[in-house]
Amino acid sequence: MADEDEKRSLAALNENGKGRFQRQVGRSSRASAKNPSISLLEARKWALAELVAAGKDEGEALDNLDFLLTGALKVNYGMLRANLTRVMPDWLSARWPSWVAALVKDRPAQYIIGEAPFYGRDFLVDERVLIPRPETELLVDWVLNDLKKQPVLAEKPTLLDVGTGSGAIALTLAAERPELKVTAADISRPALAIAFENRKKFGLAERVTLEESDLFATFSGQRFDVIVSNPPYIREDAQDEMDDSVVAYEPDLALYAKNEGLALYEKMAVQLADHLTENGRAYFEIGYDQGDKLKKIFKEALPTAEVDVKQDLAGLDRMIRVKVHGNETL
């Protein structure tokens, strides 16, 4: 499957571009007729020139190229820069033109390499799941900080991640807090397949349960100490405001929601009291312009709950926490 994808991507880079790469390999000071090669620096320069010629922003293009190189070579950015004069491995130089062709077509670098960093771990990703983003790490931080400051009294606290996708939130929380009993749910079976692979990768099969579920549908009669969710929250007509790569490649099911992006929050708000334990709490990632609306939605559904909106590093509304009290969970 990967070879077929590479062949399709390679066709997107015009013959002149592919020819320039082969000529660059041939001109390399390390090249020989028997064993042609190219340095990482030369391959990077060629790729940057191709992307800029295709109309891509130079800074963004360089970021994507360095992401691919560090991910492929399993080194950090400092190690990459210190070793740019080294020869690009044969397996990587064989793939490099197809990877650059994919960037020309706006395919996210994380999908090209098949991994995305999140909270210090590299998660497997492809077009079946959203790419984990740095702002979601702030949501994880909030949950972890609250668990530290206000521990759940249960011996084995339970946590449900609704709309788990790649499993980034659920698996990170499970890895960071070994006492948690975690359930990760998603309506998408293909997404759960990725979460399954990540669960195996991080050795969490015995501590994280995966469930196919439309929000809380599978969990009738079950309660959790903590619920966390990064649901689809983009309004359905917002494509003009989004990056082309997101619109073209990331799954619609994980991006868009009806009613200005609020529909799934509205459904969960009216069911929270049935699925949180006494004094349980729920955490949600939200859109930057949804804080006031969602605070109202959750307060109307749970009049005595504490509802707090938190901002991201840019000062934009990004997360909301709902803390219920015993009388609301009876």
**Beta strands of the chain (E only): which ranges?**
115-118, 121-124, 158-162, 181-186, 208-212, 224-229, 276-285, 306-311, 317-323
Rounded distance between C-alpha atoms, residue 112 and residue 149, angstroms: 40
**Average model confidence (pLDDT) across the chain:** 90
Tell me the residue length of the chain.
Answer: 330
Q: In the structure encoding, which two tokens stand for residue 122, read together?
A: 């590299």
* Cβ partners under 8 Å of residue 314, min gap 6: none
Angle between helices 90-104 and 2-12 (to 10 degrees): 60
Residue 150: per-residue pLDDT = 87
Is the CB of residue 193 less than 8 Å from the CB of residue 167?
no
For 63-81, the pLDDT digits (tens) are: 999 999 999 999 999 999 9
pLDDT band per the 50, 70, 90 thresholds, residue 16:
low
DSSP summary character for residue 35: S
pLDDT digits 0-9 by tens, 196-251: 999 999 999 999 999 999 999 999 999 999 999 999 999 999 999 999 999 999 99
Nearest to 208, CA basis, from 248, 255, 173: 173
Annotated binding-site residue numbers: 163-167, 186, 230-233
The predicted-structure confidence for 269-289, as pLDDT tens digits, reads as follows 999 999 999 989 999 999 999
Please report, in range form, the residues annotated as the binding site for S-adenosyl-L-methionine.
163-167, 186, 230
The residue behind tokens 């006494």 is 278
pLDDT at 329: 53
Numbered ranges of CATH 3.40.50.150 in the chain? 116-328
Q: What sign does the CA torsion over 51, 52, 56, 62 have?
A: positive
Q: Which of 137, 230, 135 is nearest to 185 (CA)?
A: 230
Q: Which of 64, 126, 70, 124 lies closest to 100 in space, CA to CA?
A: 64
CATH architecture of 116-328: 3-Layer(aba) Sandwich (3.40)
Asked if 262 contacts 292 with a C-beta cutoff of 8 angstroms, the reply is no
Site of tokens 């990877």: 99
Per the annotation, binding residues for substrate are 230-233
